[in-house]
Structure 1
């Protein structure tokens, strides 16, 4: 009996799928066009990859999905939940209301039911004021039947979750178990507004995540596969379906992250720069110990600043379908718009009439694809200038990601990676491994399961050793809840930052644990 796993990654242009055996060798791979409703593209890719793999369906034990469903829903404001926003922090935080600084149309979509309740904690865990439970009961009765998801944020809840937990209990008591409740202490890190925004966004995409999960499970069943299902999350690891439906915000940016993990696996490199060239954009990230380097900046999603963990990426509007416009005077522009998944109809090499970056590479003989005679009439010297500019754009992005001037290995992955040469400035070597076109699906299939926590500890009270020990244990528990095997757990990242502006020798500890699938 073999154990196979299927990995699927949904990108803006292509939906990729792979099947791996128990040694993580690629048995079959496929690329399908991403469809408007996403689910159809997943069905198509899954059907194709299973048909060509010719492995017994009952031996496919794991299925992993990396999806852009939630990102797209926030950016396009489509299919979002009806939510209520409850902030526990009056009177301390009345000056800045929830959703301050968020783009107007997102605020209109999510800010219909916003409440400020007395309560919250100080940085050292002392209550500011006691929780106004009567007000919470009143709110719960008021929103009954009007919302299907609630975002609860309390001041300094990463230090003490007491008020958030109590608020959840009250809401569940009045509104029943059906209501989805997102707590900020489980999602963001220290920093009230960004953590609150991340929690609000999480609450708003629960329905979208549920639909995606149900669709994926149904697609597997239609193929006669009963596998354990996991979702990719944005730190390069996996989470169980139950966990993903509770914390869908963690699926945001998992596509590029999967590509980074896949690139590391395919090239056997643990520290390198990865350029993932899709149809619409190229994402450049950095691998540190085989995992994506995390961004230390607040990240904007659909016009809202958030502070939960995200990979450190530079995205440029340059992919296989990027449109090249040539002016009368021989000047030209590259992108940022793309023909995306319409490349097979619109590109000149396929008989279309839009000049794309792929056409440029084919005309110059860099890539063999489509019908080269369709682009033979174009001015080679001009195209060479366009091509040099494309390469320069990638080299600039690589340069931005580097922490020193020393050359680093560069791994090229993604469907559009064939466009670029074997030598790039700033690279100690350029690698384009086999199966690199579907590195993202491979990344989702080989991933481990992780758990991460971030908390403030008072060293004067419990001592540094105990603080780190407690944080490690908690991170491991989170990983086990997300579906990791207890025996294989390791701590992959630990960081403690002394907080000079707080008394009591306070320190912020962040720990991440990862392990194999159960």
Structure 2
């Protein structure tokens, strides 16, 4: 019998679980998330191994869902110096790279921007030929000044030829430097795709350090036979090498782990998931067992991007949310005591009124010492609770695609705050082991690959285009670490592009499969 370790880093707690080969939960633990994140991961790993008493040689897989990359962007720390090359002169000269970025984020990663000749029109024709001598001159200018390079070409999702050739030249001139190509990362929209590509390049060292630290932590615990994976933001896994190449895909992996964990625990493949933590609540949607993807551009750290992200709403309600009364009005958050809840909440002997205290006063939650909140006026507690539930139900409504009442799966340690009824909800499911759904989501996850391609149906049939895209998605899943014999296509989207000639269509396919065996 082999075992898997799954770890997920949240804003308040870092959770760890061990599951067996049949995906049965063996042991779990919650530890406070630390400021440096890594220490909290080590504490959770050490704690769950000690509690389980399992033979360390029988741990065959270890999965990590982490906020390292998100934190690096938000804090403007540990980011690589990025060389930025945009292929599209003279067509795209009007707006330079990172023109709308916050100054501190721009300064943290680059002032090496080059606009070079090349790129394509929307129908695949060259704007101008690629000037290879110009690229070699740029490469010489970047030598020794940058850690990574981000390459973006105009309409590269129609033709990626120029991006690929630039990458070849850069490697000839600069050796094995990490290079991010925009057609592999973003979607329609030059500036948003370029932004995502630059951020991806900037995160290369963070991802590498995170993976190495995790491996070292496992080794320190005597776990030497485990194959290591990082969680990505569609609720699936990727190998360490794949994660180092596409670190931006780890952003928002925590909520998607919870969504996958909720689906696994409840045996529901279509529902709304409410994940209540110590600081915030995330609301997402399960579609066919996977998180629904957002169709909107997403701003990360002040930079607008268009790479794949889950469709989520985050609200300032968690176990540590501070409840106040100002001018006769009850105020729910958004401030929170976070991981200090066991020191600061009234039921634990603290002096701050939190959402947990309200739930305990009304008998909805059983934690801490209820006598310490018996002095709270019951009418006040009821009004505060109603306001909390209104916040939740209003945001659940925003995630619905119809006006019908929805099924909601409750997970996360803070879900003890939620009552038995919510407006617009037909069924509330509280699955067993709900508190560690996020870590479970990482432990039971599959490996996926996703591609998005544009075809002109004047030159290829729709059936052939669909087949080609599916094959490309399967290849991506294999590269990410999936067992080829288990891979299935789980999602296909075909969107006609009316503004492009040649009867153009954009096809997106996603494939998922089980982990490849050691």
Q: Which bracket does the TM-score occupy, shorter chain normalised? A: over 0.9
CA shift for structure 1 position 108: 2.8
Q: Does 1:137 align with 2:136?
A: yes
* Greater CA drift, 269-278 or 109-118: 109-118
CA shift for structure 1 position 476: 0.6
- Residue of structure 2 aligned with 1:426, choices 424, 428, 442: 424
Residue matched to 2:442: 444
Residue matched to 2:204: 206
Kept in 1, the 8 Å contact 2:77–2:108? The answer is: no
Q: Does 1:250 align with 2:238?
A: no
- What SS does structure 2 have at the residue aligned with 1:437? helix
Unaligned runs of 5+ in 2: none
Residue matched to 1:268: 267
C-alpha distance in 2 between matches for 1:180 and 1:16: 32
Residue matched to 1:104: 103
Structure 1, residues 160-194: CA drift from partner, whole Å, max 9, x if none?
Answer: 222111211222222221x2111111111122111
Normalising by structure 1, we get a TM-score of 0.98
- Residue of structure 2 aligned with 1:471, choices 469, 472, 475: 469
C-alpha distance in 1 between matches for 2:178 and 2:314: 33
What number of residue pairs does the alignment pair up? 515
Listed as ranges, the matches of 1:476-487 within 5 Å are: 476-487=474-485
C-alpha distance in 2 between matches for 1:352 and 1:425: 33
- What SS does structure 1 have at the residue aligned with 2:453? strand
Structure 1, residues 110-136: CA drift from partner, whole Å, max 9, x if none?
Answer: 341111011111223222111122222
Kept in 2, the 8 Å contact 1:86–1:117? The answer is: yes
Kept in 2, the 8 Å contact 1:259–1:440? The answer is: yes
Residue matched to 1:369: 367
Listed as ranges, the matches of 1:65-214 within 5 Å are: 65-177=64-176, 179-214=177-212
C-alpha distance in 2 between matches for 1:126 and 1:61: 50
C-alpha distance in 2 between matches for 1:189 and 1:47: 40
C-alpha distance in 1 between matches for 2:348 and 2:291: 36
Residue matched to 1:7: 6
C-alpha distance in 1 between matches for 2:11 and 2:155: 37
C-alpha distance in 2 between matches for 1:102 and 1:492: 36
Normalising by structure 2, we get a TM-score of 0.98
Unaligned runs of 5+ in 1: none
- What SS does structure 1 have at the residue aligned with 2:6? strand
Kept in 2, the 8 Å contact 1:452–1:511? The answer is: yes
* Greater CA drift, 255-264 or 149-158: 149-158
Structure 1, residues 463-503: CA drift from partner, whole Å, max 9, x if none?
Answer: 11111111111111011000011111111111111111111
CA shift for structure 1 position 141: 1.4
CA shift for structure 1 position 373: 2.2
Listed as ranges, the matches of 1:300-311 within 5 Å are: 300-311=299-310
* Greater CA drift, 352-361 or 272-281: 352-361
- What SS does structure 1 have at the residue aligned with 2:436? helix
C-alpha distance in 2 between matches for 1:418 and 1:381: 20
Residue matched to 1:378: 376
CA shift for structure 1 position 372: 2.1
Q: Does 1:401 align with 2:389?
A: no
Structure 1, residues 287-324: CA drift from partner, whole Å, max 9, x if none?
Answer: 11111111111111111111111111111111111111
C-alpha distance in 2 between matches for 1:334 and 1:422: 20
* Greater CA drift, 99-108 or 255-264: 99-108
CA shift for structure 1 position 514: 0.7
- What SS does structure 2 have at the residue aligned with 1:403? coil
CA shift for structure 1 position 462: 1.4
Q: Does 1:344 align with 2:345?
A: no
C-alpha distance in 2 between matches for 1:110 and 1:123: 30
Kept in 2, the 8 Å contact 1:7–1:18? The answer is: yes
CA shift for structure 1 position 98: 1.0
Residue matched to 1:505: 503
- What SS does structure 2 have at the residue aligned with 1:216? helix
CA shift for structure 1 position 359: 1.4
Kept in 2, the 8 Å contact 1:330–1:382? The answer is: no
C-alpha distance in 2 between matches for 1:404 and 1:380: 36
Structure 1, residues 392-431: CA drift from partner, whole Å, max 9, x if none?
Answer: 1111111111111111211000010011112211111101
C-alpha distance in 2 between matches for 1:16 and 1:125: 48
- What SS does structure 1 have at the residue aligned with 2:458? helix
CA shift for structure 1 position 330: 3.4
- What SS does structure 2 have at the residue aligned with 1:462? coil
Residue matched to 1:334: 332
Kept in 1, the 8 Å contact 2:81–2:110? The answer is: no
- What SS does structure 2 have at the residue aligned with 1:461? coil
